[in-house]
Amino acid sequence: MQKPLPFDAETVRRIVEKYPTPFYLYDEQGMRETARGLNAAFAWCPGFREYFAVKALPNPYVLELLMDEGLGADCSSLAELELAERVGLTGEDLMFTSNNTQAHEYRKAAALGAIINLDDLSHIEYLKEHVGLPDLLCFRYNPGSAREGNVIIGKPEEAKYGFTEAQLFEGYSTLKAAGVKRFGLHTMVASNELNGDFFVETARMVFDLAVRIYQQLGIRMEFVNLGGGIGIPYRPEQKAVDLQAVGQGVKRVYDAMIAGTALDPLKVMMENGRMITGPHGFLVTTAIHHKHIYRDYVGVDACMSNLMRPGMYGAYHHISVLGKENAPHDRIVDVVGSLCENNDKFAINRPLPTVERGDLLVIHDAGAHGHAMGFQYNGKLRCAELLMKPDGSVKLIRRAETHADYFATLDFSGLACSPKR
Ligand SMILES: *Cc1c(COP(=O)(O)O)cnc(C)c1O
pTM of the predicted model over 0.75: yes
The C-alpha atoms of residue 132 and residue 129 are separated, in whole angstroms, by 6
| Ligand 1 atom index nearest CA of 275 | 9
Nearest partner of 317 among 370, 369, 372, 363, judged by Cα = 363
Ligand 1 mutation pick, 38, 96, 97, max ligand atoms within 8 A of CB: 97
Convert the pLDDT of each residue in 64-119 to its tens digit: 999 999 999 999 999 999 999 999 999 999 999 999 999 999 999 999 999 999 99
The C-alpha atoms of residue 132 and residue 180 are separated, in whole angstroms, by 11
The C-alpha atoms of residue 144 and residue 311 are separated, in whole angstroms, by 28
How far away, in angstroms, is 178 Cα from ligand 1 center?
30
The C-alpha atoms of residue 379 and residue 381 are separated, in whole angstroms, by 6
How far away, in angstroms, is 385 Cα from ligand 1 center?
21
The C-alpha atoms of residue 227 and residue 140 are separated, in whole angstroms, by 9
How far away, in angstroms, is 101 Cα from ligand 1 center?
16
User: How many angstroms from the chain centroid is the CA of residue 256?
Assistant: 31
Structural element, H or E, at residue 97: strand 94-97
How far away, in angstroms, is 417 Cα from ligand 1 center?
47
Distances (CA, A) of 279 to 3, 271, 282, 285: 11, 17, 8, 17
How far away, in angstroms, is 135 Cα from ligand 1 center?
25
Cis peptide before 265, with omega less than 30 degrees from 0?
yes
The C-alpha atoms of residue 142 and residue 163 are separated, in whole angstroms, by 5
189: helix, coil or strand?
coil
| Ligand 1 atom index nearest CA of 97 | 13
Residue whose CA is closest, atom 10 of ligand 1?
228
Task: Categorize the per-residue pLDDT at 1 as very low, low, confident or very high, splitting at 50, 70 and 90.
Answer: confident
Nearest partner of 322 among 292, 266, 284, 271, judged by Cα = 284
β-strands 296-300, 331-336 pairing: parallel
Half-sphere exposure of 179 (CA within 13 A, CB side): 4
Mean pLDDT of the chain: 96
| Ligand 1 atom index nearest CA of 273 | 8
Residue whose CA is closest, atom 13 of ligand 1?
97
Residue 260 burial (10 A CB sphere; 0-12, 13-18, 19+): exposed
How far away, in angstroms, is 55 Cα from ligand 1 center?
8
Pocket of ligand 1 (CB under 6 A): 53, 55-56, 74, 97, 188, 191-192, 227-229, 271-274, 368
Find all residues with CB under 8 Å of 191, minimum gap 6, and list them: 150, 152, 153, 228, 229, 231, 274
Q: What pLDDT score does 339 carry?
A: 96
How far away, in angstroms, is 298 Cα from ligand 1 center?
33
Lowest mean pLDDT among 79-93, 156-170, 268-282, 339-353: 156-170
How far away, in angstroms, is 57 Cα from ligand 1 center?
11
Asked whether the CA dihedral 348, 354, 356, 359 is positive or negative, the reply is negative
Ligand 1 mutation pick, 55, 140, 187, 280, max ligand atoms within 8 A of CB: 55
Convert the pLDDT of each residue in 165-196 to its tens digit: 999 999 999 999 999 999 999 999 989 999 99
Query: What's the average model confidence in pLDDT over 264-282?
Result: 98
What CA dihedral angle connects 368, 372, 378 and 384, to 10 degrees? 90
Q: What pLDDT score does 214 carry?
A: 98
Ligand 1 mutation pick, 38, 57, 62, 74, max ligand atoms within 8 A of CB: 74
How far away, in angstroms, is 364 Cα from ligand 1 center?
20
